[in-house]
Amino acid sequence: MVDCSVRNWQGEEVGQATLQMRVAKEENAAHIVHRSLVRQMANARQGNACTKTRSEVRGGGRKPWRQKGTGRARAGSNRSPLWRGGGVIFGPKPRDYSQKMNRKERRLALRTAFMSRAEDLIVVEEFVEQLPRPKTKDVVAAIGRWGIEPESKVLIILAQPEEKVYLSVRNLATVKLIYATNLNIYDILAADKIVTTNTALAKIQEVYND
């Protein structure tokens, strides 16, 4: 169990929030988190890289020169892998890179990764009402008031889609917005700071603590 201070839009501490999630045992934690991260990155690969073998390259049907008597090395095709413009030896072919992992293991890895970032977690009050209209400058100023460095990679987690917040952060290269039901281990580990609201934190514990 971890206690986190709750900040308001102005950056002042206004309360406490509790984060309590079941995590993997210490001796297994790094392994299961690593497996889950590798799985997510592997599953994101398209696997459509393709090279042509000598049998698939256009041309090469005619023997370049006779077998003997020229003084040159014997050659049967100008599409040999040894030739410029020839086929590729052991090149990539379309394949499926996806990996399987049990749902309970994935949830355990996600909870473990999220709890490991507790020191970098910033809980704030609901701030949608503080944005009368989408304004990137206002969100950047609020992030600074919450004690986050300007160049830090920030992950903002909301309980549900909020168009004003989305429009305010979509042009910020260092800020990523996701929702509590769409947590993934890569975003959790890649961010320098994680900002979440009271409602989103409760939603995370409700959805992923099974």
Per residue in 25-70, pLDDT (tens digit) is 999 999 999 999 999 999 999 999 999 999 999 998 899 999 999 9
Using an 8 Å Cβ cutoff, are 163 and 46 in contact?
no
Q: What is the mean pLDDT of residues 148-177?
A: 92
Identify the CA nearest to 156 among candidates 118, 200, 189, 113. 200
Q: What was the pLDDT predicted at 155?
A: 95
- Tell whether the model's pLDDT for residue 13 goes beyond 90: no
Share of the chain above pLDDT 90, in %: 70
- Tell whether the model's pLDDT for residue 1 goes beyond 80: no
- Tell whether the model's pLDDT for residue 199 goes beyond 80: yes
Q: What is the mean pLDDT of residues 85-89?
A: 95
Give the integer Cα–Cα distance in Å for 157 and 172.
Answer: 15
Q: What was the pLDDT predicted at 126?
A: 86
Give the integer Cα–Cα distance in Å for 137 and 146.
Answer: 14
Give the integer Cα–Cα distance in Å for 24 and 33.
Answer: 9
**Phi then psi dihedrals of residue 3, to 5 deg:** -95, 130
Q: Which residue has the higher pLDDT, 3 or 121?
A: 121
Q: What was the pLDDT predicted at 129?
A: 82
Q: What is the mean pLDDT of residues 182-195?
A: 94
The pair of structure tokens assigned to 132 is 């009368």
Q: What was the pLDDT predicted at 34?
A: 96
CA of residue 20 relative to chain centroid, distance: 24
Q: HSE on the CB side for 5, CA within 13 Å?
A: 10
The side-by-side arrangement of strands in the sheet containing 121-124 is 13-19, 2-7, 121-124, 193-197, 154-158, 175-179
Give the integer Cα–Cα distance in Å for 190 and 184.
Answer: 10
Give 3's pLDDT tier (boundaries 50, 70, 90). confident
Paired with 178 in beta bridges are: 157
Using an 8 Å Cβ cutoff, are 17 and 10 in contact?
no
Tens digit of pLDDT for each residue in 98-136? Answer: 999 999 999 999 999 999 998 889 999 888 888 888 999
Give the integer Cα–Cα distance in Å for 91 and 52.
Answer: 8
Using an 8 Å Cβ cutoff, are 161 and 179 in contact?
yes
Q: What is the mean pLDDT of residues 14-30?
A: 88
Q: What was the pLDDT predicted at 53?
A: 95
Q: What was the pLDDT predicted at 104?
A: 94
AA letter at 148: I
Give the integer Cα–Cα distance in Å for 145 and 7.
Answer: 10
